[in-house]
Amino acid sequence: MRYFNNPEAFMKLMASMQSGIVATLTIFFATLIFSIPLGMVIALLRMNRRRIISLPVSLYILVMRGTPLMLQIFAIYFAIPMLTGTNLNRMTATILAFSLNYAAYFAEIFRGGIMAIPVGQHEACQVLGFTKTQTFFHVVLPQVVKRVLLPVSNEVITLVKDTSLANIIAVGELFRAAKNEASRTASVEPLFVAGLFYLLMNGVVTLVFSYLTRRMDYYKD
Amino acid sequence: MLQAINVHKSFGETGVLKGVSVRVSRGEVVAIIGRSGSGKSTLLRCMNNLETVDGGEIRIGGEALVSPGPDGKPVYKKDGELRALMLKMGMVFQDYNLFPHYSVLRNLTAPQMLVLKRSAKEAREKAMALLAKVGLEEKANEYPCNLSGGQCQRVAIARALCMDPEILCFDEPTSALDPQLTQEVLSVIRALAEEKRTMVVVTHEMNFARDVADRVIYMENGLVVEDGPAQEVLGANRSEAIRAFAGEANY
Ligand SMILES: Nc1ncnc2c1ncn2[C@@H]1O[C@H](COP(=O)(O)OP(=O)(O)OP(=O)(O)O)[C@@H](O)[C@H]1O
Ligand SMILES: [Mg+2]
């Protein structure tokens, strides 16, 4: 053992992995911030009655869910500069790929949630004179949130672990930092520490979602 | 006040309304009865713009919700005016359709504030007054999931009344309720009838129709077969058709 029985070496390890942790958290939060609203927009477009709108969106969802995220990261990092001529920063490409990918998953979860709202709710809104927008924001969305919490928590937990995929375009996130440290010192301990960190993050995610679930428990449908 | 003229409606191949004409005057309570599948709900839903008609005309307070265009195809009122016109109509559903994520009070105040732009205070006062009227003041802060079916339906009635509709429609408001709960809802509707509110009630409760309604409309197969004062249609001299129908219903 190189680190676990040596507090000083362990602190050094943590310090060298610190920027990796920051990068991982950046990918994680940025993806959530972008993909959740985007997922809602995609869900609504997917449900549009006009096929010209819903069909391309279905195709988008098929491609995003049907190909490896790793490939998508590659594609965005290398293809966008080729198409647009502007260079994409590694972190930006990563966040873009993750957001587009996770938005597709969230879209399908949200679509399921929206479709599960009884038609009676829409009809009640209509006879009361609500506009479509009021119906969505005041009646549909709050009920969808409660219904999708569980499947969304699954995705968020997966996202924590998926952040490690960014290392394939050499983003210095946690997994890459741990791997580098491990090969530099010929020890598996940094990888073990990384694993613990992912686990810790998901522990927090689990707690947050169980708090949100309890918050939503004030009514049953 | 409310008028349907020669309304046609089909779902795919099956004609559900085959030329229905109905007229409801101000202050009148009209009960619509008829077998399952005769088109009662569809008629009510057409009048509340929850279904679009295939032909005919519907007028609310003298204004046309829909009327035949030059080519005979139905033409609906334009969006903005349509919403304003539909505010004259109120609707109570069989399965209440309360907003489960809102407290009883908020179910009543939210529509007033969002649609009628009433202040929170005004909406609240109106809501509490109407909850008192249906006997549910003490449930104001409960959530619908904690109420009985009868209580839910009374909240739904109060919610519809909050919007001050000129015409209130009910689609089998008691069909989901057991007999005791049915009575508490019916007595609320009876009280509204005594205030001379204009109401259209689709119901299977024949006694209620006879006692409370001014007029009874009997529908069969997408057509109005009988339309007359409740005492005539359901009284001692009732027709064979009504006898046959009522024999099956709980008369
Ligand atoms: N959305 C729909 N799509 C297809 N068919 C429908 C639809 N709504 C109603 N129908 C059909 O139209 C007919 C009339 O239905 P409607 O609900 O108006 O009858 P009702 O008189 O209200 O019957 P009940 O007493 O059972 O409520 C039925 O045969 C029904 O199957
Ligand atoms: Mg019906």
Give the mean pLDDT of A75-86. Answer: 88
Does the pLDDT of residue B248 top 60, yes or no?
A: no
Tell the burial category of A85 from Cβ atoms under 10 Å away from its Cβ (0-12, 13-18, 19+).
Answer: exposed
| A46 vs A12 pLDDT, higher one | A46
pLDDT tens digit sequence for A27-40: 999 999 999 999 99
Distance to chain B for A130, nearest Cα, Å: 6
At residue B239, the pLDDT reads: 81
pLDDT tens digit sequence for B184-220: 999 999 999 999 999 999 998 888 888 889 999 999 9
Confidence tier at B108 by pLDDT (50, 70, 90): very high
DSSP helix/strand/coil, B222: coil
The structure tokens listed for B106 are 């908020």
- What's the CATH number where B215 sits? 3.40.50.300
Report percent pLDDT > 70 for chain A. Answer: 100
B99 and A130 in contact (C-beta within 8 Å)?
no
Which residue in the block uniquely carries the two structure tokens 């927009």?
A41
Q: Please identify, by atom number, the ligand 1 atom nearest to the C-alpha of residue B45.
A: 18
Number of structural domains (chain B) is: 1
CATH architecture assigned to A7-218: Orthogonal Bundle (1.10)
At residue B244, the pLDDT reads: 79
Q: At B114, which amino acid appears?
A: L
Chain B residue with minimal CA distance to A220? B145
User: Are residues B93 and A120, on separate chains, in Cβ contact within 8 Å?
Assistant: yes
DSSP B99: -
Per DSSP, what are the bridge partners of residue B23?
A: B3
* First-to-final CA distance of chain B: 30
Judged by average pLDDT, the poorest of A85-94, A106-115, B41-50, B191-200 is A85-94
> Rounded to whole angstroms, what are the CA distances from B231 to A43, A119, B214?
54, 37, 8
Chain A residue with minimal CA distance to B108? A128
Give the mean pLDDT of B121-133. Answer: 96
Distance to chain A for B29, nearest Cα, Å: 20
Name every chain B residue with its beta carbon within 8 A of the beta carbon of A219. Answer: 100-101, 143-145
Q: Please identify, by atom number, the ligand 1 atom nearest to the C-alpha of residue B40.
A: 21
Residue B206, domain member (yes or no):
yes
Residue B72, domain member (yes or no):
no
Handedness of CA B245, B6, B163, B30 (dihedral sign): negative
Confidence tier at B11 by pLDDT (50, 70, 90): very high
User: Largest Cα–Cα distance in chain A?
Assistant: 71
Query: Residue B183 CA to chain centroid, in angstroms?
Result: 17
User: What backbone phi and psi angles, to 5 degrees, belong to B33?
Assistant: -125, 170
Secondary structure percentages of chain A, helix, strand, coil, to 5: 85, 0, 15
pLDDT tens digit sequence for A146-173: 999 999 999 999 999 999 999 999 888 8
Does the pLDDT of residue A2 top 80, yes or no?
A: no
User: What backbone phi and psi angles, to 5 degrees, belong to B227?
Assistant: -155, 110
Does the pLDDT of residue A123 top 50, yes or no?
A: yes
Nearest-5° Cα angle at A166, A165 to A172:
125
Residue B233: give the domain boundaries.
26-52+87-248
Handedness of CA B184, A218, A129, A123 (dihedral sign): negative
Which residue in the block uniquely carries the two structure tokens 């520490």?
A193
The structure tokens listed for A132 are 């479509």
CA B222 to ligand 1 center in whole angstroms: 10
User: Are residues B83 and A121, on separate chains, in Cβ contact within 8 Å?
Assistant: no
Handedness of CA A153, A155, A157, A160 (dihedral sign): negative
CA distance B49 to B9: 12
Does the pLDDT of residue A23 top 80, yes or no?
A: yes
Confidence tier at B251 by pLDDT (50, 70, 90): very low
Residue B190, domain member (yes or no):
yes
Ligand 1: which of B42, B51, B170 to mutate, most ligand atoms within 8 Å of CB?
B42
ipTM > 0.90 (yes/no): yes
Q: At A132, which amino acid appears?
A: K
Domains in chain A: boundaries = 7-218
User: What backbone phi and psi angles, to 5 degrees, belong to B208?
Assistant: -60, -45
- Is residue B114 within 8 angstroms of chain A, CB to CB? yes
Rounded to two decimals, what is the model's pTM?
0.91
